[in-house]
Structure 1
Amino acid sequence: MTTPPDDVTPAAHDPEASPAARPRPAAPSTLAELERRAASRHGRPAYGHDALIACDRLVRVFTTDGVEVQALQGLDLLVAEGELMALVGASGSGKSTLMNILAGLDVPTAGAATVAGRDLLTMDARARLGYRRDVVGFVWQQTARNLLPYLTAQQNVMLPMQLHGGRRRAARTKAAGELLSMLALDHCRDRRPHQLSGGEQQRTAIAVALANTPSVLLADEPTGELDSHTAEQVFTAFRTANEELGTTIVIVTHDQAVAGEVRRTVAIRDGRTSSEVLRRTERDAATGRESLVAREYAMLDRAGRLQLPAEYTHSLGMAHRVLLELESDHIGVWPDRTADGAARGRETGGEGGRESESRDGDEVTEGDS
Structure 2
Amino acid sequence: MERRAASRGDRPAYGHDALIVCDRLVRVFATDGVEVQALQGLDLLVAEGELMALVGASGSGKSTLMNILAGLDVPTAGAARVDGRDLLTMGARDRLAYRRDTVGFVWQQTARNLLPYLTALQNVALPMRLAGGRRRAERARAAEELLAMLSLGHCRDRRPHEMSGGEQQRAAIAVALANTPKVLLADEPTGELDSATAEQVFAAFRTANEELGTTVVIVTHDRTVADEVRRTVAIRDGRTASEVLRRTERDAATGTESLVSREYAMLDRAGRLQLPTDHMTSLGMAHRVLLELESDHIGVWPDHTADDAARTRTTGEADRDPQDGDARGAAPGA
Q: Output the TM-score relative to the length of structure 2.
A: 0.91
Relative to structure 2, which stretch is displaced further, 255-264 or 304-313? Answer: 304-313
Secondary structure of the corresponding residue to residue 45 of structure 1: coil
Change (3 A) 1:323 1:155: same
Alignment pair present for 1:141 and 2:108: yes
Map of 1:151 onto structure 2: 118
Aligned residue among 312, 315, 320 for 2:287: 320
Q: Count the aligned residue pairs.
A: 310
- CA distance in 2: counterparts of 1:259 and 1:133, whole angstroms: 27
Output the amino acid matched with 2:143.
A
Within the candidate set 91, 95, 101, 2:68 is matched to 101
Q: 2:132, 2:277 → 1: CA distance?
A: 52
What's the CA shift for 1:36?
Answer: 3.7
Match of 1:78 in 2: 45
Match of 1:232 in 2: 199
**2:247 is equivalent to residue 280 of structure 1:** yes
What SS class does the counterpart of residue 162 from structure 1 fall into?
A: helix
Per the TM alignment, residue 38 of structure 1 is displaced from its structure 2 partner at its CA by 3.9
* Structure 1 match to 2:57: 90
Identical positions, percent: 86
Q: Secondary structure at the match of 1:306?
A: coil
Task: Please state if 1:338 is matched with 2:305.
Answer: yes
Are 2:261 and 1:294 aligned?
yes
Counterpart selection for 2:174 from 182, 191, 207: 207
Q: Counterparts of 1:1-369 in structure 2 under 5 Å?
A: 35-339=2-306
Name structure 1 gaps, 5 residues minimum: 1-33, 344-369
Q: CA deviation at 1:42?
A: 1.5
The 2-side partners of 1:231 and 1:225 are apart by 9
Displacement of 1:314 after TM fit? 2.1
Question: Which structure: greater helix fraction?
Answer: 2
List structure 1 runs of 4+ shifted beyond 4 angstroms: 340-343
Counterparts of 2:109 and 2:75 in 1: how far apart (Å)?
Answer: 25
CA distance in 1, matches of 2:45, 2:308: 37
Map Cα deviations across residues 200-248 of structure 1 (whole Å, 9 max, x no partner).
0000000000000000000000000100000000000000000000000
- SS of 2:142's equivalent in the other structure is helix
Pairwise CA RMSD of aligned residues?
A: 1.2
Give, as a single letter, the amino acid of the residue that structure 2 aligns with 1:289.
T
CA distances 1:173-199 after superposition (whole Å, capped 9, x unpaired): 110010000000110000000000000
Q: SS at the partner of 1:318? A: coil
Counterpart CA distance in 2 for 1:319 and 1:155 is 57
1:35, distance to aligned residue in structure 2 (A): 4.8
